[in-house]
């Protein structure tokens, strides 16, 4: 059995496993396979599960798998809606699909621009549905995910979110300091920081064979030693947990690699910096 360490999620008082399972990993997989996968994750110590309506059948499959263990896990979900009625409708659909009366963390999904963020946060925007849901006990904590520093910083300035889900990746860091200002602001606010793309390598090269990782829109890290360095680097940046790429094998590798987590040496950090110089980052600023 793998024992996954846990960390506090900001000021919430909740402790999450250092590795979370992303719903895209189980998208469109047979229910029997998903059941076994989720069971193995919980047995390994994973208590953080993140899903969204846009992940194909993931909500339905995860709802079935968690129905007998729902109380022992931290369930996060998202809405892509930017208006109050749309977000409210999406939340209630997710509750039904997940077979639960409450979602632990409900997030605005994929904020990407200032305008996108502003639309969700103005009067009549999606954030009003999130607050209403919290007031009615349908969700406990509120958060957002973002794919740009500008969108993330604006969201934090405009609303008191509990968490942020954001790319914390060594290539992005060494090529653009992509996460630096965002993490600094989140830490200042005492937010829980959840990391995306920790084991992302680069945009898929044109001649790459994508069949082995068909659910990944970017090239994930396959090499065990580099994967370990990349994951441990992310976990050294003050995050609570990392969600690995949407690939069952890489996710299972992450569960093993997180054992014996430690901060990297100066030599290892230098190695990552040199590698990053030759890679094509998955996002640009």
Q: What is the largest CA-CA distance in the chain?
A: 52
Radius of gyration of the chain (CA): 18
What's the confidence (pLDDT) of residue 43? 95
Domain borders along the chain are: 6-276
3-state secondary structure of 164: strand
Model pTM score: 0.95
What's the confidence (pLDDT) of residue 135? 98
Name residues of the chain where pLDDT drops below 70: 1-2, 285
The token duo for 91 is 């939340």
What's the confidence (pLDDT) of residue 2? 53
What's the confidence (pLDDT) of residue 285? 60
| Topology adopted by domain 6-276 | TIM Barrel (3.20.20)
Dump pLDDT digits (tens) for 34-62. Answer: 999 999 999 999 999 999 999 989 999 99
What's the confidence (pLDDT) of residue 155? 97
As a whole number of angstroms, the distance between CA 275 and CA 285 comes to 20
């Amino acid at each position: 059995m793998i024992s996954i360490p846990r960390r506090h999620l900001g000021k919430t008082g909740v402790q999450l496993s250092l590795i979370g399972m992303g719903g895209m990993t189980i998208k469109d997989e047979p229910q029997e396979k998903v059941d076994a996968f989720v069971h193995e994750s919980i047995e390994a110590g994973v208590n953080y599960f993140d899903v969204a309506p846009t992940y194909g059948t993931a909500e339905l499959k995860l709802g079935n798998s968690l129905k007998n263990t729902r109380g022992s896990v931290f369930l996060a979900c998202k809405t892509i809606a930017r208006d109050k009625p749309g977000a409210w409708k999406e939340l209630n659909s997710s509750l039904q699909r997940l077979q639960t009366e409450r979602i632990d963390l409900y997030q605005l999904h994929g904020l990407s621009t200032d305008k996108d963020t502003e639309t969700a946060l103005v009067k009549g925007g999606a954030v009003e549905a999130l607050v209403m849901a919290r007031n009615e006990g349908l969700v406990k904590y509120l958060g957002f995910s973002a794919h740009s520093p500008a969108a993330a910083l604006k969201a934090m300035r405009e609303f008191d979110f509990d968490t942020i889900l954001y790319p914390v990746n060594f290539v992005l860091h060494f090529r653009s300091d992509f996460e630096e200002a965002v993490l600094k602001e989140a830490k200042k606010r005492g937010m829980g920081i959840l990391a995306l793309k920790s084991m992302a390598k680069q945009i898929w090269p044109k001649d790459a064979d994508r069949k082995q990782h068909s659910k990944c829109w970017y090239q994930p890290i396959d090499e065990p030693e580099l994967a370990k360095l990349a994951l441990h680097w992310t976990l050294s940046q003050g995050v609570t947990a990392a969600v690995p790429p949407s690939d069952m094998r890489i996710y299972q590798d992450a569960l093993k690699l997180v054992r014996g987590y430690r901060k990297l040496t100066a030599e290892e950090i230098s190695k990552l910096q040199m590698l990053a110089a030759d890679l094509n980052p998955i996002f640009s600023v």
